């Protein structure tokens, strides 16, 4: 087990600097254009694939870093570049984590490479969990998966929403209800292979922020997938459902929750990257902008805001890195440390980007400066993969042992 440390080793520093260079030289110059276009930045994703950032090998190396710091370090640097483009680059990772967390070795080896493609033929993947009437309330999920034993196929019907890369993905990972009597305990995850009949893109959303990332509904109309596309296999599912029925009111870990638990510190790292970017713009502006014959940072009202911004960012990073280290080293989240990291980092990003606009004044409110875009982007962190309210609920339940509602 690796010891927890805040000091990156030489290899990690080299990777960090490489990612920072890509973010500065490739992502940032393209950020405003793709934000305005509200389209998937395929050329940037392809550039990331060419240099090895958008690849299974790169994410596997970071995912299996024994210190746990590989993924949060990578997320922070890419999202420092631009949140919308970075999410287009890393969005496939949520589907990949879903397969890693719940799939067999054969499923991992078969499907994750197809999620990325290669530098000459880039692909993306989508993780589909939320529904129009079931976001945070996963027990209300209506998408059904029914097993056709005669054909060894699962038949999926329903509508998913808020799916990153939904409809344009090569591979979709879909969470569905297999036993409605068990509520959230009766869920399972399925691979929907490329070009499967019955899967289509519904509404594409025009969003407040992260506009370069494709977000859409996914409609499943009698979608048939082979039995081998049930993540973990039917034997494992049957055992889990039997335990759930026997346990009564006891909590049983389901596939969607396993994916979200694994990804929350990574989302926190994304928020840290956006917050740090806005802070750096505001600091530079405050050092160079003069009013009444002196730099505006010479005023306590501005200087103290920057001090608070930097303190919050560093505290958020500490929580993210701790949770990431714990997850990789098998330490249980006895105080919901994963949710803590996501909650604090996402709230920090919203606050810091707002403070950055305030420091820049009227300039900060225009699109001539990037903090306006960063503030719009930051709003998503307190919403997706568990709202701040849900994170507080998870933390409160964990520290109290009570079924708080």
d(CA 26, CA 48): 9
Name beta bridge partners: 225.
154
Phi-psi region of 292 (alpha: psi -120 to 50; beta: other; left: phi over 0): left
- Token pair 């950032």 is at which residue? 53
Task: Look up residue 100 and give its two tokens.
Answer: 């890693």
Closest listed residue to residue 335, CA positions, set 401, 262, 399: 399
The Cα–Cα gap between 219 and 210 comes to 23
Q: Catalytic residue positions?
A: 385
* Burial of 148 (C-beta count, 10 Å sphere; 0-12/13-18/19+): exposed
- Give the residue from 103, 128, 401 showing the smallest Cα distance to 256: 128
DSSP for 286-297?
Answer: HHH-EETTEEGG
Name the nearest CA neighbour of 285 among 366, 358, 347: 358
- Positive or negative, the CA dihedral 171, 97, 405, 250 is positive
Scored b (16 or more CB within 10 A) or e, 214-223 reads bbbbbbbeeb
d(CA 96, CA 278): 30
220, β-bridge pairs: 158, 199
Tell me the residue ranges of DSSP E strands in 49-165.
117-118, 121-122, 125-128, 144-148, 153-164
């Amino acid at each position: 087990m690796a010891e927890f440390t805040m000091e990156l080793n030489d290899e990690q520093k080299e990777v960090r600097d490489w990612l920072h260079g890509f973010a500065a030289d490739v992502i940032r110059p393209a950020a405003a254009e793709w934000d305005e276009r509200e389209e998937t930045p395929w050329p940037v994703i392809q550039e990331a694939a060419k240099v090895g950032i958008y690849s299974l090998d790169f994410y596997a190396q970071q995912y299996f870093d024994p210190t746990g710091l590989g993924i949060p370090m990578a997320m922070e640097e890419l999202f420092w570049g631009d949140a919308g483009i970075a999410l287009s680059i890393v969005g496939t990772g949520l589907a990949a984590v879903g397969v890693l967390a719940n799939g067999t070795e054969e499923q991992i080896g078969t499907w994750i490479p197809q999620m990325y493609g290669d530098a000459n033929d880039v692909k993306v993947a989508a993780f589909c969990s939320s529904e129009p009437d079931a976001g945070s309330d996963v027990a209300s999920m209506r998408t059904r998966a029914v097993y056709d034993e005669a054909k060894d196929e699962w038949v999926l019907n329903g509508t998913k929403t808020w799916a990153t890369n939904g409809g344009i993905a090569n591979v979709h990972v879909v969470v569905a209800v297999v036993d409605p009597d068990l509520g959230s305990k009766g869920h399972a995850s399925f691979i929907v292979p490329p070009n499967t009949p019955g899967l289509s893109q519904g509404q594409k959303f025009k969003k407040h922020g992260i506009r370069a990332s494709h977000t859409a509904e996914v409609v499943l109309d009698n979608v048939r997938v082979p039995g081998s596309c049930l993540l973990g296999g039917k034997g494992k599912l049957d055992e889990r459902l039997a335990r759930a029925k026997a346990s009564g009111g006891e909590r049983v870990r389901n596939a969607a929750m396993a994916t979200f638990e694994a990804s929350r510190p990574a989302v926190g790292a994304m928020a840290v990257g956006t917050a740090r970017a806005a802070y750096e713009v505001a600091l530079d502006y405050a050092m160079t902008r003069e009013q009444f014959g002196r730099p505006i940072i010479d005023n306590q009202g501005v200087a103290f805001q920057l001090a608070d911004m930097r303190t919050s960012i560093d505290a958020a990073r500490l929580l993210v890195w701790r949770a990431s280290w714990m997850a990789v080293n098998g330490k249980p989240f006895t105080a919901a440390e994963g949710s803590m990291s996501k909650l604090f980092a996402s709230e920090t990003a919203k606050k810091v980007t707002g403070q950055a606009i305030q420091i820049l004044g009227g300039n900060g409110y225009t699109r001539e400066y990037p903090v306006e875009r960063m503030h719009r982007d930051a709003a998503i962190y307190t919403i997706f993969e568990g709202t701040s309210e849900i994170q507080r609920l998870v933390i409160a339940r964990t520290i109290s042992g009570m079924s708080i509602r």
